[in-house]
Structure 1
Amino acid sequence: MSVIQFIKSKSFLKQLIIALVVFLIFAVAVVQWLKYSTNHNQKIEVPNLAKMSLNEVETVLNNIDLRFVIIDSASFNPDYPAKSVIEQSPEAGQFVKENRKIYLTLNPSKYPNIEMPELYGKTKRQALSQLLAIGFRVDTAAVYVKDIAKDVVRGLLLNGNLIKAGDKIPKNSLIKLKLGDGNEGELQMEDSEEVSEEIAF
């Protein structure tokens, strides 16, 4: 029997149909297995973890078969509890598959310390600009001391305590300036005039 005759025979057609049926069954089985193994139809909504502690995060995510990884600490934000979640990826409301990792950024426990620069002898404007630039707050009510130089820094105060250059101060601290009142020179001049008048008399 020639090849052409075999291809045209009922036996070949029967075998071809059986092979096609077996292939289709195999293909459907593979697709279903892939759907099952990759959780094709399973979607879990990511919860909002903002301001939660790690214990709270662990409880919430374990209940919905998700995991978490801490990747970083942000700059301290006083609006968030210490060591709570400040950012997350994926964000709340997105849909992910089972066992997906949620990457978390935590709020530090406090502001970092900043070294106080040398400000003695600088003008009020210079000191104010420099303090604000490095992350401090400045009390609008300065303390004035008797000094010939008006509005020149003669000291710095934190909670009533004198601080100096090189001290480590928490960022965002409220700093009060001690400034010269510009009166000492005038008083000295007045005293000198009185002495001169007495001598002349």
Structure 2
Amino acid sequence: MKKIILFFKNHPILKHLIFIGLVFVALVWIVLHGLDIYTRHGESVTVPDVKRMQAEDAKDLFSRYRLRSEVIDSVYVDNIPRGAVVEQIPRENSSVKENRIVFLTINSNLPRKVTVPDVRDMSYRQAVAILEGIGLSQPEIEYVVSEYKDLVLDVVYNGVSVEKGLKLPVSSRLKLFVGNGTAEIIEDSIIMSEDSVGEEWME
């Protein structure tokens, strides 16, 4: 031991180099260990499926998985409970780091509204296609006496004629009054009957 101490006393430069080397190794270890803790290297969690859960319930579940959640958007889906989660990013069963934010899209409490287009004087097939194309339910069809067969004569909601530009929830169901093409036949029958009566009177 005395020889080692004496050796370092006789070689001070070597002593300093060894000391610097030890300090460098210690610093490297501290940095790597710190990064490992900071990034939680090798530690991950599986994202649970929270679809159809209420946003607050989903938040509580995520906290048990050491995850966070944030609502970023809302949509309206008729067959999902109001306020429930519709979509999540990252998706369920994804492997992510702890403390990751899971972004949620929830079902709106109020149904989305659309502007009802004017489909009068269109064929009922074209009118139905347009109304369904903007998200409205398939309308009810009621045929009425008119010489214009399959032509939409009026559009009604809750018994009231729909004005152009009216906004309704997408869940609304309209009623279309469509011509049955019989008015002309009835008129022709009346004329023929009148002619027959006239001929009989002349005789």
TM-score range, shorter chain: 0.7 to 0.9
Q: Deviations over 1:88-107 (max 9, x none)?
A: 12222223333322111112
In the aligned structure 2, how far is the partner of 1:119 from the partner of 1:30? 71
Contact 1:117–1:165, Cα closer than 8 Å, also in 2: no
Q: Deviations over 1:148-180 (max 9, x none)?
A: 111111223456x34413333221544342211
Superposition pairs of residues 3-42 of structure 1, within 5 angstroms: 10-42=11-43
Counting only pairs closer than 5 Å after superposition, residues 1-201 of structure 1 correspond to structure 2 as 10-74=11-75, 76-139=76-139, 142-158=141-157, 161-166=159-164, 167-200=166-199, 201=201
Conserved? CA contact 1:119–1:165, under 8 Å: no
User: How far 1:28 moved relative to its partner?
Assistant: 0.7
Question: What's the offset of the Cα at 1:13?
Answer: 2.3
Q: Which moved more, 1:17-26 or 1:32-41?
A: 32-41
Q: Give the AA of the match of 1:63.
A: R
So what's the TM-score if we normalise by structure 2?
A: 0.81
TM-score by length of 1: 0.82
Q: CA deviation at 1:145?
A: 0.9
How far 1:41 sits from its partner (Å)? Answer: 3.8
- The root-mean-square deviation of aligned C-alpha atoms, in Å, is 2.3
> Residues of 2 paired with 1:66 and 1:165: CA distance?
50
Amino acid at match of 2:115: E
Seq. identity, %: 27
- Give unmatched runs, 5+ long, in structure 1: 1-8
